[in-house]
Structure 1
């Protein structure tokens, strides 16, 4: 298998392709999020963040990433899991790439860790699952803004039960690894309905109830549920730090997409 660099697929669509536009946009989102912090919040070990176009979900994602920034030198590795939107997939898919590229530069993959993961029966290498997938890609510039040098373990999650995802997270739960789950919430309801549904999903996340989060509640329900399973087994807590939808951040309110930012610690 010849290593390659995974090229950005949605730069110029979901976020600016030019670094001189992208970096100030991210910094504005992060500054706005930091302004709401008290200064003594603990740094989470895992976050859930949305993955829509930045003009819609960027401010919500920044609410989680701003909590990571104080530990910019601590986290040396990121385990990133997001749902498959384009390729039907059973289990979790790794990439054979050596690097993932964004407009802000290259991110090296932790090839040794990925090869260990591929010994699990639910994990396979499937570059086609990564090629056009935005759920992982849109998290990468945020990570490049809030962390120093780090290596990446990117996993596209298809049909996988919570225990299969939990087993993967278990491999990398250490002080130097940040876990990032990429998920939006409800899709294409009117504003009031979305608020009601997404509030219920936030309550289920805070209660660590993976069985309560279904297909219509979060597109990343499978990786989310795996993280909640892990958190429940290890006595962790989940906190909602932001919950809005596209009707709040710049879109119309007749059909909205929900976004939430959550911390696990």
Structure 2
């Protein structure tokens, strides 16, 4: 299991992770919200999706930025188990975790059984903790730049919190991973089209959609926190990188 199966333990775990985020700038949910002095608009976040004991705290730093009620969220993650060349959402009316059920919604995307995709399902408890009313999970396969643009245009019309799911480099030694991940973080923050193909991340194809969505929303991602599994468990011989952003 990627997170605690016991409702009480999961709830307490999420409480702990959601207290880890302390960002210097207060954020409003979207550009249509009434911004107070010093606030930035918040369209969405980028979070990792490993087991909670590894990356849950890093994910929590981004989820903790969401202070206003969210009616809808779109969770966009890579396909790890299904060969896919498109975007697919769930064919289920609800998603369920130990915290309960949450309704899903669809805006005419291809449907299928995507329940085993952990890059998406690992975000559900965080969203339930934030009392999100409806979720559209979107599993992304090997898409083209044109497909990424079309998907970005489609979801940009939906008033929702966008949650992009990706880990960074996998199974490098600690020093190499940190160097590689710093390069990826810089490319993501700058939306550098020329260097985007050099990003080392399992969520590369969702990030193609992110790049186009940020252009539409006229915003850029900003790093909240970076760590890797070596920082968490101490074994630095072979690590996985985790980063959280908001945009």
TM-score (norm: length of structure 1): 0.83
User: Corresponding residue for 2:23?
Assistant: 37
Determine whether 1:224 maps to 2:210. Answer: no
Q: Deviations over 1:84-138 (max 9, x none)?
A: 111111111122100011111111011xxx2x423xxxxx2221xx132111010
Distance 1:209 1:141 in 2: 32
Aligned Cα RMSD in Å?
1.9
1:238-249 matches, cutoff 5 A: 238-249=221-232
Q: Deviations over 1:46-88 (max 9, x none)?
A: 11100000111011101110111x11x2x21111110011111
TM-score (norm: length of structure 2): 0.89
Determine whether 1:207 maps to 2:197. Answer: no
Determine whether 1:90 maps to 2:90. Answer: no
Q: Deviations over 1:1-24 (max 9, x none)?
A: xxxxxxxxxxxx211000110010
Determine whether 1:109 maps to 2:92. Answer: no
Distance 2:172 2:148 in 1: 29
Are the aligned partners of 1:79 and 1:177 in contact in 2 as well (CA < 8 Å)? yes
Are the aligned partners of 1:163 and 1:226 in contact in 2 as well (CA < 8 Å)? no
Are the aligned partners of 2:115 and 2:121 in contact in 1 as well (CA < 8 Å)? no
Distance 2:72 2:99 in 1: 18
For structure 1, the residue ranges without an aligned partner over 5 or more in a row are 1-12, 119-123
Change (3 A) 1:101 1:203: same
Secondary structure of the residue aligned to 1:80 is: strand
For structure 2, the residue ranges without an aligned partner over 5 or more in a row are 28-39
Distance 1:43 1:19 in 2: 33
Are the aligned partners of 1:89 and 1:157 in contact in 2 as well (CA < 8 Å)? yes
1:113-128 matches, cutoff 5 A: 114=106, 116-118=107-109, 124-127=110-113
User: Corresponding residue for 1:8?
Assistant: none
Distance 1:168 1:133 in 2: 19
Q: Relative to total residues, which structure has the larger helix share, 1 or 2?
A: 1
Per the TM alignment, residue 174 of structure 1 is displaced from its structure 2 partner at its CA by: 5.7
User: Corresponding residue for 2:133?
Assistant: 150
Per the TM alignment, residue 209 of structure 1 is displaced from its structure 2 partner at its CA by: 2.2
Determine whether 1:253 maps to 2:239. Answer: no
User: Corresponding residue for 2:117?
Assistant: 133
- Once the two structures are overlaid, the 10-residue window that deviates more, 231-240 or 82-91, is 231-240
Distance 1:29 1:87 in 2: 30
Q: Deviations over 1:175-221 (max 9, x none)?
A: 84101111000000000001001000000011112553448700001
Distance 1:230 1:168 in 2: 9
Are the aligned partners of 1:93 and 1:155 in contact in 2 as well (CA < 8 Å)? yes
Determine whether 1:99 maps to 2:99. Answer: no
